[in-house]
């Protein structure tokens, strides 16, 4: 199956309600095109998280607006990350049902909504878990526990996860507990490793992004696949980067319940190769070579370096090294998302990304990156 991405930006600046109505109207028009030809499976709505109370009220408002859309089955998540240039932005993941006549099954159990997509004996499951308790370790544990249970109920496990987004409130914040330094990102990684330790990852870890969000808490978004045909799922390494799951303690911050701090368990990218469509999920990528991040406090330089790393990652030579033989010189980029630490740097990042990716669906958000010195992180999807 070939995924499509569609971005909905407000046409004009206005109040939050006005911009929401604008985007909802655009979204409604899109899914009506071709008499419902384009099936939306996942809709992400990015809004600034001013405070938890304001965020929860806006979540209810958005959910009520989406409930009025009756013709499609999809899941959605509201994410507290400030969009560049507007009060909200919406990103839809969808497919062309005239080419892929898939069966969609929307499931709701215990307040958790998931979507199962079945096409030619292949199953894809999408869902989100979230917790805003304010303690990163506890929130992470709850989200991973719910993720594990949902996967199990669908006949899957963490090995089937091809893409994961991990939104971490105060991602680089540290505190001292019992005389030990703790970092929110490290606490999250410790919990992730705890849930992964008994899983056999036959195709490598998921492609993933670990990124900051405006409010204290955790949101985990998951895409998992299972195929019964000759499809293949493969991890892709970058020759210029040490795999994140092999980092040394030198670049990990804080204590761990183990002798060694838990490493970030994700691959630089994940390829799904199928007769019905093949694609690459590129994980959140920043200016890190080997395992050391750049010391250049220049957003333009960091953006250029990040894009060069992505170019190397999906190059024909590197795909071949990773067992993926393609006839094209370069897979086709179909969507990207850029996270920028400082809002004043947005135009620089946007210009460089447009020069590299061209005019494809894109979202630019204001968010903290996993290391304090990093100013930008970029993720993307490629079609093979």
Q: For 260-285, what is each residue's pLDDT tens digit?
A: 579 999 999 999 988 778 899 999 99
Residues 6 and 363: their CA atoms lie apart, in Å, by: 10
Parallel/antiparallel/unpaired status of strands 88-96 and 103-109: unpaired
- Mean pLDDT for all residues in the chain: 92
Which range among 53-62, 297-306, 322-331 shows the weakest confidence by mean pLDDT? 322-331
* pLDDT class of 181 with cuts at 50, 70, 90: confident
Tell me how far apart the terminal alpha carbons of the chain are, to the nearest angstrom: 11
For residue 179, give both structure tokens. Answer: 């005389």
Q: How far is CA 145 from CA 108, 183, 188, in A?
A: 17, 21, 13
For residue 284, give both structure tokens. Answer: 């959140």
* pLDDT class of 249 with cuts at 50, 70, 90: confident
Asked if residue 44 lies in contact with residue 11, where contact means CB atoms within 8 angstroms, the answer is: no
Residue that has been written with the tokens 């384009």 in this structure: 38
Asked if residue 266 lies in contact with residue 207, where contact means CB atoms within 8 angstroms, the answer is: yes
* pLDDT class of 155 with cuts at 50, 70, 90: very high
Across 94-119, average pLDDT: 92
Query: Domains of the chain: which residue ranges?
Result: 4-383
Q: What percent of the chain has pLDDT over 90?
A: 77
Asked if residue 199 lies in contact with residue 158, where contact means CB atoms within 8 angstroms, the answer is: yes
Question: Has residue 105 got a pLDDT over 80?
Answer: yes
Q: How far is CA 125 from CA 100, 105, 153, 155, in A?
A: 16, 10, 11, 10
DSSP conformational letter for 279: E
Question: Has residue 256 got a pLDDT over 60?
Answer: no
Residues 268 and 378: their CA atoms lie apart, in Å, by: 12
* Model pLDDT, residue 332: 93
* Model pLDDT, residue 371: 92
Question: Has residue 170 got a pLDDT over 90?
Answer: yes
- 314-354 pLDDT per residue, tens: 999 999 999 887 665 578 999 999 999 999 999 999 999 99
Number of helices and strands (H, E) in the chain?
7, 21
Parallel/antiparallel/unpaired status of strands 207-213 and 218-226: unpaired
Which range among 2-16, 176-190, 306-320, 369-383 shows the weakest confidence by mean pLDDT? 176-190
- 192-242 pLDDT per residue, tens: 999 999 999 999 999 999 999 999 999 999 999 998 767 889 999 999 999
Question: Has residue 114 got a pLDDT over 70?
Answer: yes
CATH architecture entry for 4-383: 2-Layer Sandwich (3.30)
277 vs 135, higher pLDDT: 135
Residue that has been written with the tokens 């170019």 in this structure: 311
Q: How far is CA 352 from CA 6, 117, 257, 357, 359, in A?
A: 21, 35, 41, 9, 12
* Model pLDDT, residue 326: 67
Cα torsion angle, 238, 239, 245, 247, sign: negative
Question: Has residue 60 got a pLDDT over 90?
Answer: yes
For residue 354, give both structure tokens. Answer: 């447009």
Asked if residue 254 lies in contact with residue 183, where contact means CB atoms within 8 angstroms, the answer is: yes
Asked if residue 151 lies in contact with residue 195, where contact means CB atoms within 8 angstroms, the answer is: no
């Amino acid at each position: 199956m070939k995924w499509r991405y569609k971005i909905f930006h407000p046409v004009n600046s206005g109040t939050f309600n006005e911009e929401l109505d604008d985007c909802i109207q655009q979204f409604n028009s899109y899914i009506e095109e071709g008499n419902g030809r384009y099936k939306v499976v996942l809709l992400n709505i990015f809004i600034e998280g001013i405070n938890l109370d304001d965020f929860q009220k806006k979540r209810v408002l958005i959910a009520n607006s989406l409930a009025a859309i009756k013709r499609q089955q999809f899941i959605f998540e509201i994410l507290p990350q400030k969009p560049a240039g507007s009060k909200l932005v919406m990103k839809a993941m969808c497919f062309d049902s005239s080419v892929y006549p898939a069966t969609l099954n929307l499931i709701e159990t215990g307040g958790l909504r998931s979507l199962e997509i079945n096409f030619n004996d292949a199953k894809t499951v999408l869902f989100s878990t979230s917790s805003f308790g304010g303690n990163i370790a506890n929130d992470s544990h709850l989200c991973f526990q719910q993720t594990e249970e949902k996967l199990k109920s669908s006949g899957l496990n963490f090995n089937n996860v091809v893409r994961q987004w991990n939104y971490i409130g105060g991602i680089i914040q540290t505190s001292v507990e019992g005389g030990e330094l703790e970092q929110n990102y490290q606490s999250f990684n410790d919990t992730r490793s705890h849930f992964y330790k008994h899983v056999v990852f036959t195709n490598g870890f998921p492609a993933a992004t670990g990124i900051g969000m405006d409010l204290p808490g955790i949101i985990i978004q998951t895409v998992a696949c299972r195929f019964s045909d000759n499809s293949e799922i493969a991890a892709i390494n970058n020759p210029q980067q040490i795999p994140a799951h092999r980092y040394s303690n030198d670049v990990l911050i804080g204590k761990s319940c183990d002798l060694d701090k838990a490493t970030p368990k994700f691959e630089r990218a994940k390829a799904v190769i199928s007769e019905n469509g093949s694609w690459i999920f590129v994980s959140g990528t920043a200016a890190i070579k080997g395992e050391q991040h750049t010391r250049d406090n220049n957003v333009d330089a960091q953006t250029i370096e990040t894009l060069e790393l992505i170019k190397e990652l999906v190059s024909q030579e590197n795909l071949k090294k990773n067992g993926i033989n393609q006839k094209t010189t370069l897979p086709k980029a179909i969507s990207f998302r850029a996270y920028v630490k400082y809002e004043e740097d947005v135009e620089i990042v946007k210009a460089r990304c447009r020069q590299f990716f061209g005019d494809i669906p894109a979202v630019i958000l204001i968010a903290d990156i996993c290391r304090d010195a990093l100013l930008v992180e970029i993720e993307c999807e490629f079609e093979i």
